[in-house]
Amino acid sequence: MSSSLFRTKNVEQSIRDTEEPEHALKKSLSALDLTVFGVGVIIGTGIFVLTGQVAKNNAGPAVALAFVASGVVCALAALCYAEFASTVPVAGSAYTFSYASLGELPAWIIGWDLVLEFALGTAVVAVGWSGYIRSLLDNAGWHLPEYLSGRDGAHGFGFDILAALLVLVLTAILVLGMKLSARITSLVVAIKVAVVLIVIIAGAFFVRGDNYRPFIPPAQPVPAGASLKAPLVQLMFGWAPANFGVMGIFTAASVVFFAFIGFDIVATAAEETRNPQRDVPRGILGSLFICTVLYVAVSIVVTGMQNYTQLSVDAPLADAFKAIGHPWYAGVISFGAAIGLTTVCLILLLGQTRVFFAMSRDGLLPRFFSRVHPRFRTPHRPTILLGVIIAIVAGFTSLSELAELVNIGTLFAFVVVAISVIILRRTRPDLPRAFRTPWVPFVPILSVCATLWLMLNLPAETWLRFAIWMVIGFVVYFLYGRSHSRLARPEQPEPEPAPPMS
């Protein structure tokens, strides 16, 4: 039994599967498209909200260094993703990589984890987008009925119609084709980046040097907690992180790290890239570099405009402009946040459908979902199914408390990919690698250690919810996936035609 649980799918077979006419995705993406996807999903409300929150509560003006530290941690993981995605250019990202190196059960676990991560992330972002749009509508004097404005604050029935409609529209766009999705994403990302640049350039004129002193505020110890809301590292070792000071920078880094989540989704589009060996590493590393520069610039500007102790928690950038007498920029920031969330939602939904499609093509989920549309060459069946489910979930559920599940799922994937790089280097040194992670195994090991540290800083209740989802995944695998896997049921060769009757 143990041998079947850890059977691997060789790289050559994974690539051959992408060439089957009924299961082949259309290759239409370039390095620029992938970079735009990466920037589109990474830059969300984090750049408008998280920068000020962490500056006020954890690091002061040194939040810029926290973004640099988080960018380095992500870069370590990105180097591992770049090698795998260029070597195994197949849909599925970490799921496909682990299937080729760790075996079927670990691959199922990471695939199941990614399905939750992307689905929950899409729903959470859709609900957040709906809140911004309702706020803009209210400012214009248009008010939605309470029962169509979501569960929060609703008396009786409540459905978030805007969140559900957004998911359904984006589902239709993904069904119609990746190139259309890339064009729409490019337009929206251009608007979003323009808003960020306006904030940086305009804010730079209001920076005061006094606000940077002290750049690293004196350390303040944090009282240890004993509830499930406390970080797991506190419950395990009794260690409580500090705010401010040098250690406060690393505490802040564990928070702002989650503003970077999303570059790994670029790897899910490797199969739909015209030249994945060259373009996927460029897309992953390029989008991460651009976003790190923008994050650092925004954090320097916001802490220079207003003293970190006076920053607001809910909308620090917008309120900083209001505090200096320029409320117009606050409206621009809200518009940029609303626009930005559209692409985040689209690309998260894209990532989930590709992982689901890859698992279906391998037989771990029903093969019905692995057939592509005859005209658009997209996995339309899982896209429609998941889009409808997520639209219903986003409409009926308030998901703010579950948002951290997205974080732990991504971090878990980072660990798996780093370990997989080391294993595949040993088991398949013959594979042609267009991009090679430098200093293996040092870089992957460093990536694993840094990622595990960030995971330990997540609340214990997040770990508990994650464990429950994993248990459900084990049940599904042993009841269906293990016996229906294509590795468990090798396809028989086509019978030779009978000789013609004489």
Structure confidence at residue 398 (pLDDT): 64
Any alpha helices (H) in 140-160, and if so which ranges?
none
DSSP 8-state symbol, 440 = T
What's the whole-model pTM score?
A: 0.85
Whether the pLDDT of residue 500 is over 80: the answer is: no
Q: How far apart are CA 356 and CA 391, in angstroms?
A: 17
Q: Give Cβ neighbours of residue 278 (< 8 Å, ≥ 6 apart).
A: 31, 86, 434
For the stretch 355-406, pLDDT in tens is: 999 999 999 999 999 989 988 889 999 999 999 999 998 888 765 555 556 7
Ordered by where they begin, the domains of the chain are 32-484 (1.20.1740.10)
Query: Is residue 7 left, alpha or beta, with left meaning phi > 0 and alpha meaning psi from -120 to 50?
Result: beta
- 149 SS3 class: strand
pLDDT value for 425: 93
Is the CB of residue 95 less than 8 Å from the CB of residue 117? no
Q: Give the per-residue pLDDT at 387.
A: 95
Mean pLDDT score of the chain: 85
User: What number is the average pLDDT over the span 418-423?
Assistant: 93
Instruction: For the chain, give the percent of residues with pLDDT over 90.
Output: 38
In 10 A of CB 498, how many CB atoms? 6
Name the range with the highest mean pLDDT among 220-229, 380-389, 454-463, 486-495: 380-389
pLDDT for position 475: 95
Contact 473, 109 (CB under 8 A): yes
What digits encode the pLDDT tens for the residues 235-291? 887 777 678 988 889 888 877 876 787 777 888 888 889 999 899 999 999 999 999
Of residues 66 and 406, the one with the higher pLDDT is 66
Higher pLDDT, 412 or 158: 412
CA 353 centroid distance within chain: 13
What are residue 229's phi and psi, to 5 degrees?
-80, -10
pLDDT tier for residue 438 given thresholds of 50, 70 and 90: very high
Q: What is the mean pLDDT of residues 188-198?
A: 89
pLDDT band at 501 (very low <50, low <70, confident <90, very high): very low
pLDDT recorded at residue 303: 93
Quote the pLDDT of residue 215.
92
Task: Determine the straight-line distance between the first and last CA of the chain, rounded to whole angstroms.
Answer: 50
- Give the type of residue at 440: V
Please tell me the predicted confidence (pLDDT) of residue 54.
87
pLDDT at 483: 93
